[in-house]
Amino acid sequence: MAEIKKILCAVDFSEMTPKVVEYADTLAKKMDADVHVIFVVQRLDHYASFNVAPPSLQEIHGEVLGEAEKKIDALVQEQFSTDKVTAKVLSGHADEEILRYAKDENVDLIVMGTHGRKGVDRLLFGSIAEKVVKTSQVPVMTIRPQ
């Protein structure tokens, strides 16, 4: 069996996050692995065509990043029992950033939730988890809602 020493736990602060964290935390403890928890903030620059002044978009983005950093720090403190955790907030498209981070940090496994979108929602928004599973160079464990 492959050795898993570095786990990427991608969270979105949805109702699935505690379950995703539980799996990542359990695996990390059993395998004595490090956990890298990331949250990706969508960039707002593609909204510039809505005539919102760019400094306003930059300010909003900065505030969102700051709040996300507070939330991810609290998440690590409250929900992880292992102390081998690194937390990071990234900016960009979630699937691209998850895959880039996994490659740059040489992770052995990605753990993330799915939302089970169907119909029009799936057509409009797609599936971040599906994109990651299809293009990842490392195994991906997806946690489904129940």
pLDDT digits (tens, 9 = 90+) for 131-140: 999 999 999 9
| pLDDT value for 5 | 97
Q: 119: alpha, beta or left, given left = phi > 0 and alpha = psi -120 to 50?
A: left
CB contact at 8 A, 82 and 25 = yes
* pLDDT-derived band at 54, boundaries 50, 70, 90: low
| pLDDT value for 126 | 57
Position with higher pLDDT, 107 vs 117: 107
Give the full edge-to-edge strand order of the sheet including 109-113: 85-91, 34-41, 6-10, 109-113, 140-143
Q: What is the mean pLDDT of residues 44-65?
A: 69
Instruction: Read off the pTM.
Output: 0.86
pLDDT digits (tens, 9 = 90+) for 61-113: 788 889 999 999 999 999 999 889 999 999 999 999 999 999 999 999 999 99
The CATH topology of domain 6-143 is Rossmann fold (3.40.50)
* pLDDT-derived band at 124, boundaries 50, 70, 90: very low
Task: Flag the least confident range among 31-45, 46-60, 109-123.
Answer: 46-60
- Delimit the domains of the chain by residue range: 6-143
Does 28 have pLDDT greater than 70? yes
